[in-house]
Amino acid sequence: MSGPSFLDGLKAKFGDQVTGSNLEAIDPWIEVSPAVIVEVCRYLKEEPGAAFDYLNCVTAVDYFEPDEKKAAKTKWEPHLEVVYHLWSVQHKHSLVVKVMLPRWQDDVEGQLPEVSSVVEVWPAADWHEREVYDLCGVRFLKHPNLRRILCPEDWVGHPLRKDYEMPLEYQGIRGR
Amino acid sequence: MATQTDDSQIIEIDVRTDEMLVNMGPQHPSTHGVLRLVLRTDGEIVSEVTPHIGYLHRCAEKIGENLTPRQWVPYTDRMDYLAGMNMNLGWALVVEKLLDYDLPEKARHLRVIIAELGRIASHLVGMGTFGLDLGSFSPFLYAFREREKILDLFEEVCGARLTYSYLTVGGATSDLPGGWLQKCEAFLEQFEPVIAEYHALLTTNSIFVKRTAGIGTMSPELAIAYGCSGPVLRGSGIDQDLRRDGEERYTEMYDGYAFEVIVEKDGHYPRDHDYPAVPREAELGDSWHRFYVRMLEVMQAIDLIRQGIDRYSTSSGSWGEPIKLNQRLPAGEAYLETEAPRGQMGFYLVSDGSAIPWRVRARSSCFCNLSVAEVLCRNILIADIPAIVGSLDVVMGEIDR
């Protein structure tokens, strides 16, 4: 099976919750609504033709240009993308699933955007989602143990956000 | 006042031990660097293990957003610092994927030789430190004796012994020096018979077998669910090796090379060489099998290097000069995984069309391999923890990035 057939299958099952796709990209990707991400993942895992039983990677990309002059030229609105790289051990094929989130929940700065956790589908997501929470600032709902994983627990901010500012000081250690 | 010793309730209170939280690491010698494990123990029995990572976090991904892809190559060296060449290769391939750049044939063979030498060097450390974890010091010295010779070969190629930055976007920074292939062949000639020593020291050593066989058994379903890869996945009997199953951009490097994936299939491992027999106590997916897969991969790597040397010396054309990347990168995103010694190392590159990447992500194999330790280390003895963590063969530099 290849990109188009996954897309057809998803469209037949989830209708307009499949919000976008690019099958001509270097790695074909399908974008779905955050509300159905767990159902989509479970479908992709359990559908015999797809059988995506292996989660390679979860990551997030922050689309935000802090420089106003450059921001005027960008083609996208500021947003955050959560990217899931899937792989099937049985069929040896791969797929990329994306979810678009606002940078801040309800546009209130400091309120982390939320999406459901896929730990119940792939336990491998546990640590990956903790890392995305830690570094990119995405809150995964129903995650069993959403704590910082790489940064210390009392760290402030999410370093891979584009508007992140390096702290001047941490525990008496000079930062800049 | 005399105590009533025949009262069973009093005896019960007297000998009962309390649950205790014990920190193992971050400086414990058998945690392979700065890994901290918090053990919940009742006497010698561990009921729960919580790994704490991040002590070596350098935010390499953030640094990658401020450098051109070629400038970031040295940062990949510092991830899995025991297999720097294989890290360089993973990053170089993903940038080439974004650029849609096809490598000259000779450069591909050069990469196979270098990557497989890196695999041997890395597995030797994995083997030596595993022996060290289990209290046997000598295998470590035997392993480092041979590893030094590989580092000498690498030093001759690029001048560095640990952080090479040799394989880069477009090929490699320089061609192999004159006479190097003969030295490499001489090394393989000398190294091949030495492997029997390792098998005698560890693989078939009855103390080693008793410490590892049946310990930390991982079912194939568990290995897949937690995204394990490399020898950890194959040790559980899953037939997956990206050198055969991966993306074409990666597998074409190994086109025409004869090799069998090291995995137990139909109840036996490949029979292309004379390997020691699997002991009766060992069960598929335990610490012993993960170790065994690694040892067999060393032999397989020797075969691959020999084939690589033949092809490299007969193929003509360029050895793959690095691409000058002062131009802008094409907009788009690319993800690629390679079979590094410790598992599937993936790099994700997002470009917005400028000269530096918009986002860089490194998917670490050890990161996933270690996350399964929480499940494996339930209701076991404290002494088995070094055996299990050692058999996962983690490198903290790659986990924390």
Residues 6+ apart with CB under 8 A from B71: none
> Which positions ≥6 away from A47 have C-beta within 8 Å?
A9
What residues of B are in contact with residue A74 (Cβ under 8 Å)? 352
| A160 neighbors A136 (Cβ within 8 angstroms) | yes
DSSP conformation letters of B211-257: HHTTSS---HHHHHHTT--THHHHTTT----HHHHS-HHHHGGGTT-
Query: Taking CB atoms and an 8 Å limit, are B53 and A83 in contact across chains?
Result: no
Cβ within 8 Å, pair A160-B332: no
CATH number for the domain running over A3-174: 3.30.460.80
Q: Tell whether B382 lies on the interface with A, counting CB pairs under 8 A.
A: no
B111/B113 Cα distance (integer angstroms): 5
Count of domains forming chain B: 1
Q: Partners of B347 in the beta sheet?
A: B336, B362
Quote the tokens at residue A74.
Answer: 């960008």
The answer to whether position B312 is within a domain reads: yes
Task: Show the DSSP H helices in chain A as ranges.
Answer: 3-14, 37-46, 68-73, 125-136
Residue B393 is predicted with a pLDDT of: 87
How many angstroms separate the Cα of B300 from the Cα of each of A70, B22, B130, B213, B305?
52, 41, 20, 23, 9
Per-residue confidence (pLDDT) for residue B1, from 0 to 100:
47
Nearest CB to B54; choose among A89, A96, A151: A151
Q: Examine residue B26 and say whether the peptide bond preceding it is cis (omega within 30 degrees of 0).
A: yes
Quote the pLDDT of residue B14: 63
Interface test with B, best of A54, A65, A81, A89 (most B CBs within 10 A): A54
Three-class SS state of B326? coil
**Domain contains B30:** no
**Nearest chain B Cα distance for residue A15, angstroms:** 26
What is the rounded distance in angstroms from the CA atom of residue A43 to the CA atom of residue A47? 6
Residue B40: inside a domain: no
ipTM of the complex: 0.88
Q: What tens-digit pLDDT sequence spans chain B (401 residues)?
A: 455 566 766 666 666 677 888 888 787 766 677 888 898 888 888 888 999 998 889 889 999 988 888 889 999 998 888 889 999 999 999 999 998 888 888 899 999 999 999 999 999 998 899 988 888 888 999 999 999 999 999 999 988 888 898 998 888 888 889 889 999 999 999 999 999 989 988 888 889 999 898 888 999 999 999 999 999 999 998 989 998 888 888 888 898 898 888 888 887 888 888 888 888 888 888 999 999 999 999 999 999 999 999 998 888 888 877 887 667 888 889 999 999 999 999 999 999 888 889 999 999 999 999 999 889 888 888 888 888 988 988 888 889 88
Closest residue in A to B367 (Cα) is A127
pLDDT of residue A3: 59
The per-residue pLDDT for range A56-71, each reduced to its tens digit, is: 999 999 988 888 888 7
Asked if B394 and B82 touch (Cβ cutoff 8 Å), the reply is no
What are the tens digits of pLDDT across the range B191-247? 999 999 899 888 888 899 998 988 889 999 999 999 999 999 999 989 899 988 888
Q: Counting one residue from A and one from B, how many pairs have CB atoms under 8 Å apart?
A: 80
Residues spanned by the domain of B333: 49-400
CB–CB contact B332 A26 (8 Å): yes
Q: Is residue B6 domain-resident?
A: no
d(CA A111, CA A107): 8
pLDDT per residue over A91-108, tens digit each? 888 889 999 999 888 878
CATH of the domain at B323: 1.10.645.10
Contact between chains at B350 and A61 (C-beta distance less than 8 A): yes
pLDDT of res. A119: 92
Nearest to B387 by CA among B208, B233, B234: B208
Which stretches of B16-137 are DSSP H helices?
A: 60-64, 69-77, 84-99, 105-133
Please report the residues numbered 342 through 371 in chain B whose beta carbons come closer than 8 angstroms to any beta carbon of chain A.
344, 346, 348, 350, 352, 358-359, 361, 363, 367-368, 371
Q: Do A151 and B57 touch (CB under 8 A)?
A: yes
**DSSP class per residue in A133-144:** HHHH--EEET-T
- Mind telling me how many Å the CA of A150 is from chain B's nearest CA? 4
Residue B313 belongs to some domain of the structure = yes
Structure confidence at residue B3 (pLDDT): 52
Return the structure tokens found at B263. Answer: 């995995």
A 46-65: CB under 8 A from B:
53-57, 59, 61-62
Q: What are the domain boundaries of chain A?
A: 3-174
Closest CA to B98 of B398, B401, B355: B355
Q: A126 and B371: CB-CB below 8 Å? A: yes
Residue type, A168: L
pTM: 0.87
